[in-house]
Each structure stands twice: as C-alpha cells, then as structure tokens.
Amino acid sequence: MTPLDYAKWGDVEYFKTVELYILQNYRDETNDPILSVTAIENQLECCKVIYERCPDQLFCQNTYGNTILHHISHYGGGMARMLEFFFEIGIKAGASDIESGQPGGENRFKKWCRLQNCDGATALTRGLHNRNLQTTKLWLQVDREYELELLKIADKDKNTPLHLAVGYQDFELVKLLIAGRESDFEYGPNKNGETPLMIATREAQSSAAITGDNTPAKIRKLLLEMQPNQSKVRTGEKGWTLLHYATQKGDLGTVDDIIQVCPDCMELGDKENQNFLHLAAKLEQVNIVKHVLEMKEISLETTVLNAKDNYGNTPLHIAAETANKNMVEYFLYDPRVDKMTTNAKGQKVLEAVSVTSQLL
C-alpha cells in the first residue's frame, strides 16, 4: 500500500498518523509530492492534514513544471472549493514569509500563480482545457485582486488564454475572459500567425459552411464589439490586418463588420503601405470594392480611397493595372476618387487606365 492508495480512499486518519518521513519522501512517477497527488484525487480533508504536516510541499513543481494549482485547475469540475483552499493557504504562506523577513515573500504567492510549466502554460491556461467556468471565475478574481496579468501570459505556442478559449469555441468562456478586461491590450499573433479575432473569423467561416453552427460567429461579433483594437494587429510577412485577410478571401460580412466597429482599420497599410482597398483592387474583389464605395462610412474626409502605397499608387492605379473594366469604372465614377493623382513613376492615374485597359 502506498500513500497514493490512501489518498484515493480519502483516509484522513492515515495521513494524521503515518510517519512524517513517509509523507515527506513520497513522489510519484512525475515527481509530484503527496500533497499534489491527493489534490488530484480531490480529497480536500486529506490535503488539509498533509499541508499542516508538510507545508513545504505547497510550492513544489513536478518534472513537467506543473504546480498543485496546475493540477487542480486542469482536473477541474468539482474542484472549486479545493482551488479556494489553496489560494487561501498560498496567500497566508506569502504573508508569513513577509512577517518572518524571508526574501521574496511579498511576491511568492503571485509568482506561484504565474508559474509556467514546460509547455509555457500557467495554471489558468491549463484549466481552460476543461472549460470550467467556476474555477475560471476564481482565477479571474485572484488575477484582478493581485494584478497577476495572467491574461497576457502566452504559452510556448504564443497562445494567450483568450486564444485558447476562442479556439475551443466556448462562447461563455470567451465572454468571461473579456468582460471588463483591458480592451486596449494588443493581442499579438500566435505561432500560427493568428490573433484571437482571426481564429474566431476562421472558425466562423468554416462552421457556417460545414455545420451551420453560429457560435463562432457570435464569438467573432463579441470580440469585434468588446475588443475592436484586435482588428488593427498586423501579422505575417506582409503585415496584413484582419481586414486585409478578409478582403483576400472576399469575406464581405467580415469586411463590413470590421468597418462598422473600427473604421480606423480602413486606413491601415501593410508593409507596402497598401490598405485593404489596394488589395481588393489587386485581387479583383469587385464585390468588395462596390460595397465599400457604397458605404456611408466612406466620407469625403476618409483618405482610404486615395491613399498611396510605397510606389505612389492609389487603389485606382492598382485597379487600372488589372484591366478589370467593372472595377475600374466603380472607382472612376465615384466623385470622391482623385483622378489626377500621380504615382512614383510620374504616371497619372488616367494614363494608367488608358495604357493598361484601353477603357478611355
């Protein structure tokens, strides 16, 4: 019989009476101490006894860098009280260190909560896998109170908690993570080059086509409304924003939604300083060009129609190079479009139209 067997049975008396060295020296195959494995078994009363006798096990990490908080959060359901207990004693342990003058005591609890395992996952991140709202709420309360900034910590794949929650397509979890949170925090791309909003957009497109599930679309809408700045993040070798990617795919719905919630995105250029309308012209996305020119958000003050890329080309210059008659005419007959502009080669836009498409 091993201490683990008694932990599985919840034998409190065993842990009260067994020789102390047995509790101190026990390690499982991943080098977890008895306190951690008993927590995994969800035996709270046994954990209380073990901690009283072996308090040094509280802050241990196993072979994979997991703490007891990682385990409790990961195994999830029904462990909210267990998580509360370890938060309580962790806070007290940090306070005790301060009183005793031990170095680092003030930050010990915070460091413990922010520890990352070998995959770069914090306990909060690891807990998201089971989609447990109750334990996630507890983590967010502690995160707020102690300014842990856990929502900014990315794993080895550069996924933040929001990246993961969006990937799981859990609307309630996503809503919980972003409610009242720092809407101005710039979520960068993960290793796949995607922000949470990009993941939501991709999932919305595929789900609508395959399953008809509207959850991804709801998540995309929520992110756009609550964190519109995600639309401004540039990713990939070309430095595209989500508006560029949506334009490339001819995703009129996403283009429209982004412009509605974040009109500033229209002005953003990529590494060649081409905005989404340059790209629409280049890729001959006629429907997008037509729709955008008809939008009330495109005012006389908006520079997107006549913006120049690094080569001095406006969207009309680009459209002329494609020789797409319909698209060129949409630009030509719009009074807001400058027909006299000149690119870096000294070529006027009307000359470009004449030379490349012979429309005039």
Given a cut of 60, whether residue 106 has pLDDT beyond it is no
Confidence of residue 205 (pLDDT cuts 50, 70, 90): confident
Q: Which residues contact 125 (CB under 8 A, 6 or more apart)?
A: 150, 153, 155, 159, 161, 164
The verdict on residue 287 lying in a domain is: yes
334 domain-assigned: yes
Q: In this predicted structure, what is the pLDDT of residue 359?
A: 47
Inside any domain, residue 48: no
Cβ-in-10-Å burial (0-12, 13-18, 19+) of 110 comes to middle
Of 67 and 185, the one with more pLDDT: 67
Mean pLDDT of 194-210: 84
Task: Give yes or no for residue 170 having a pLDDT over 80.
Answer: yes
Residues 317 and 282: beta-carbon distance below 8 Å: no
Tell me the CATH number at 274: 1.25.40.20
Residues 110 and 146: beta-carbon distance below 8 Å:
yes
- Could you give the number of structural domains in the chain? 1
The answer to whether residue 71 sits within a structural domain is no
Return left, alpha or beta for 250; rule: phi > 0 is left, psi -120 to 50 is alpha, else beta: left
Lowest mean pLDDT across 1-15, 161-175, 264-278, 346-360 = 346-360
329 within some domain: yes
User: Does a structural domain hold residue 279?
Assistant: yes
**Residues 219-231 pLDDT 10s:** 999 999 998 889 9
pLDDT of residue 292: 92
Domain that holds residue 307: 265-359
278 occurs within a structural domain: yes
pLDDT of amino acid 211 = 62
pLDDT at 119 over 50: yes
First-to-last alpha carbon distance for the chain, in angstroms, is: 92
Contacts of range 33-39, beta carbons closer than 8 Å, 24 or more positions apart: 33/57, 33/60, 34/3, 34/4, 34/7, 35/60, 35/68, 36/60, 36/62, 36/67, 36/68, 36/71, 37/3, 37/4, 37/7, 38/7, 39/68, 39/71, 39/72, 39/82, 39/86
Per-residue pLDDT, 342:
86
Residue 289 lies in a domain: yes
Q: Are 136 and 129 in contact (CB under 8 A)?
A: no
The model's pTM: 0.86
Predicted confidence at residue 207, as pLDDT, reads 66
Q: Cα–Cα distance between 126 and 50 in angstroms, integer?
A: 24
